[in-house]
Amino acid sequence: MQPPKTKITASDALVGIWNVLLAAFVIALLYFARDLLIPLALASLLTFLLAPLVTRLERWIGRIAAVLLVVTMIFSMIGMAGWVITRQLVDLATRLPDYKVNIKTKIHSFQLPSGGAFKRLSETVEELKKDLSGSDAPTVSQTSGKPATAVAVPASVSPTCRCKSWRLPRRTLSSL
């Protein structure tokens, strides 16, 4: 048994540096060649997956016909999957107004602890509940050509009465 080395020689250091540089080169090469390597890797994967099927069909109809048949079957399956997904999305889009009521109900029934670390989150959820409860949006009135005269009035107050000016609170990321 050899005693452990206590000193690192210059050649050992050069070998270590060489290994690090080689690893960095390989990683950089893979990174910059990913646009070429990813399609090649997917093609290789599909080749390995579909080769047994092509081999079985090749016994009866020949290699070229077997490859064309398998490729046609794969594209047909992808097309059918796309058609099914498209139909599902169209169905979801037509039923979305019905789901809106369900989503509102779920948000209104959502309860959070009122104290502790979740206090701001709880307050935000409560504000959202109030916003979704059907209260009308404020009316904004402004003198033509003068943007500084814009006044937002709650919907319960008539637009002619400007005794209650209404303003949304400003929230920043630091206040959350």
Domains of the chain: which residue ranges? Answer: 16-98
Determine the pLDDT at residue 129: 76
Determine the pLDDT at residue 138: 57
Whole-Å CA distances, 100 to 96, 130, 144, 167: 6, 16, 37, 28
pLDDT > 80? residue 24:
yes
Determine the pLDDT at residue 124: 80
Residue 6 φ/ψ, nearest 5 degrees: -105, -25
Determine the pLDDT at residue 25: 94
Percent of the chain with pLDDT over 90: 38
Tell me what the mean pLDDT of segment 80-95 comes to: 94
Q: Which residues contact 65 (CB under 8 A, 6 or more apart)?
A: 57
3-state secondary structure of 141: strand
Max CA-CA distance within the chain?
98
Per-residue pLDDT tens over the stretch 117-156: 677 777 787 787 777 765 555 555 666 666 666 565 555 5
Whole-Å CA distances, 4 to 1, 12, 16, 19, 170: 9, 14, 18, 22, 67
Arithmetic mean of pLDDT over the chain:
78
Whole-Å CA distances, 157 to 2, 135, 165: 93, 13, 10
Instruction: Please tell me the distance from the alpha carbon of residue 157 to that of residue 120, in angstroms, as a whole number.
Output: 29
